[in-house]
Structure 1
Amino acid sequence: MAARYRCPFENLVILDFKTTCEENNYDYLTEIIQISATVLNIRDKVIVKRRSDIQTFVRPVINPLLSEYCAQMTGIDQNTINTADTFPVVYNQFVAWLQEHNFQERSFAFVCENSQNMWRYAQYQFLLLDQALPAMFRQWISLEVAFRDLFPGRTCDHLPGETLVEKTSNHYNIEFTGNEHYAMDKSFFLAKVTKRILDDNNLITVNQNFRCFAGKRTVPLNVDPNWKTNFQSAMLVIERMLPLVFAYARNYFPDESFGKCFFCRQQSDVCTGLDNEQYPDELFEQLVEPSVFAIAARLVDDDDEE
């Protein structure tokens, strides 16, 4: 084991969100219903339990009733959601928790399973509130990318398992206990995987962040008529709808890069992500039906709703 972890941060906060959802419907306005975080202390090389874990439920306001599919998949019951606080309250509690444990913005980084937590869930939640995405959510460590980069060709497709949890569990012989769709179980397991990667003397640092402009969005997209029920097609559509696009950050320096757009280099109070710099007129023109996802977050102009 290396004398010191190869990581430029004092702590890693392994973060996982769960959201409202419907089976086979990706044109759905997702609201965060669970936030869980597990802390990995870099200096002491330990996963800090109990006092530093956070597990919070969130009451959705647009679709307050969980679908049967969502409740069964996550294991979260309606009564738990009914008594929870709404996202603005929970977010303030989360910020207070970070401050209580002295997690200063540039001294820690979030670790997420992949880009979905920040790009699709956090970004959309703040759009629903018509608020700029906070600077601390503008960069993160994708564990999927970090794990994939360990292998030739930067791919782990050859490993057994369908999901990252299954692949890392098999590869490192780390047993997953609980429900993969329950945020606390997921974040604790991902913390163990992150620690194992660091134990093997591998570098862990920010590898994804946001940008307001992406060349791939300038290429015309032929929208799949069945995009609402096809995950891959839906992600291509949502990538055009959401203002911010995630990018791979191969060189990240906390003091210089924190909170900045990877394209325009402006801080999050200037490049807020509230307006789409590449508004997809041609995409909305192709939609047979208006997008519930886009309308709820005001991502579509009034003329395109008609």
Structure 2
Amino acid sequence: MAHRALMRLGKQLPKRVNEYKPFQNFLVLDFEATCEANKILKPQEIIEIPCFAVSSEDWHITDVFHEYVKPRVHPQLSTYCSTLTGLMQETLDDEDFFPVVFSKFCEWIKNGNYFDEEGKSAFVTCGDWDLKVMLPEQCKLDNIEVPSYFKEWINLKTTFCSATNYYPRGINDMLKHFNMKFQGRNHCGLDDAHNITRLMRVLAERNRPQFIITSNVKDKKFDVSVGL
């Protein structure tokens, strides 16, 4: 029922516009976080930050940020989390806590000049959870102010729906639509980001989609920013 409702909602999205200013870069992001089976873990903590910088000119990956994060509140990964993400406890034990890794991530963004001009770059996620829920909660936990450029993003599910009139459940559902197979491991942040990038490339080539910005800024829901 919920999936059908989302499909109906997707059909009401704005149509592609003829005039637009394309982004130069898409920053494809997919967090992984602590979790437990059959239980809502509070708080969840980010344990992997992968981000691909993708050129809108040729859809090639121009740069990559990738770091693991040691959880602080629940430092011991559950068996379920390790099985789901493929991350082992020893992988995270020697990593930095979130404030240090997030500082590195923000420095990477600054050095890439991705947001030195308005409309130059946009984050891309599969769903709204990464930047609407997880990052604000993690920053609140560590008393960090969320930089403004993290408050807007492109939800690939919404873009996919605007191009196909079908609201997907996730990455695998979108890949199936194009008769593609997932490359790598599901719920590995780096592999998820890679497959999101593949989907963006195929959408651009076959469907010329409208990319729709979702915003955490008050009173701003959708803003048609770019078509291809």
Q: What residue identity is the alignment partner of 1:96?
A: E
Partner of 1:227: none
Cα drift, residue 24 of structure 1? 1.5
The match for 1:208 among 204, 208, 214 is: 214
The match for 2:93 among 82, 91, 97 is: 82
Cα separation, 2, equivalents of 1:109 and 1:206: 10
Cα drift, residue 206 of structure 1? 4.0
The reply on whether 1:91 has 2:102 as its aligned counterpart is: yes
Cα separation, 2, equivalents of 1:201 and 1:190: 15
1:139–1:206 CA contact under 8 A, matched in 2? no
Please give the per-residue CA displacement for 1:225-246, whole angstroms capped at 9, x wherever unaligned. xxxxxxxxxxxxxxxxxxxxxx
The reply on whether 1:123 has 2:96 as its aligned counterpart is: no
The reply on whether 1:21 has 2:35 as its aligned counterpart is: yes
The match for 1:186 among 181, 192, 199 is: 192
2:33–2:44 CA contact under 8 A, matched in 1? yes
Cα drift, residue 119 of structure 1? 1.4
Superposed, 1:1-306 pairs within 5 Å as 8-43=22-57, 45-48=58-61, 52-105=63-116, 106=118, 107-152=120-165, 155-156=166-167, 163-200=169-206, 202-212=208-218, 248-252=221-225
Please give the per-residue CA displacement for 1:249-280, whole angstroms capped at 9, x wherever unaligned. 13459xxxxxxxxxxxxxxxxxxxxxxxxxxx
Cα drift, residue 68 of structure 1? 1.0
2:22–2:225 CA contact under 8 A, matched in 1? no
Cα drift, residue 166 of structure 1? 1.9
> TM-score when scaled to structure 1?
0.62
Partner of 1:278: none
2:29–2:193 CA contact under 8 A, matched in 1? yes
Partner of 1:281: none
**Deviating runs (4+, > 4 A) in structure 1?**
none
Q: CA RMSD in A?
A: 2.1
2:34–2:41 CA contact under 8 A, matched in 1? no
> TM-score when scaled to structure 2?
0.82
**Structure 1 residues 32 and 194 mapped into 2: Cα distance closer, same or farther (>3 Å)?**
same
Higher relative contact order (CA 8 A, sep 6+): 2
Cα separation, 1, equivalents of 2:110 and 2:145: 20
Provide the secondary structure at the position in 1 that maps to 2:163. coil
Please give the per-residue CA displacement for 1:139-195, whole angstroms capped at 9, x wherever unaligned. 00000111011234xx336xxxxx422221112223212211110000000001011
Cα separation, 2, equivalents of 1:201 and 1:182: 27
Q: Higher Cα Rg: structure 1 or 2?
A: 1
**Structure 1 residues 53 and 197 mapped into 2: Cα distance closer, same or farther (>3 Å)?**
same
1:198–1:204 CA contact under 8 A, matched in 2? no
1:139–1:209 CA contact under 8 A, matched in 2? yes
Please give the per-residue CA displacement for 1:179-234, whole angstroms capped at 9, x wherever unaligned. 11110000000001011112235244342111457xxxxxxxxxxxxxxxxxxxxx
Q: What residue identity is the alignment partner of 2:95?
A: A
Identity of aligned residues (%): 25
Cα separation, 1, equivalents of 2:66 and 2:85: 14
Cα drift, residue 63 of structure 1? 0.8
Please give the per-residue CA displacement for 1:79-137, whole angstroms capped at 9, x wherever unaligned. 11111111111111112222333322531100000101111211110111223321011
Gaps of 5+ in 1: 1-5, 158-162, 214-246, 254-306
Cα separation, 2, equivalents of 1:169 and 1:143: 12
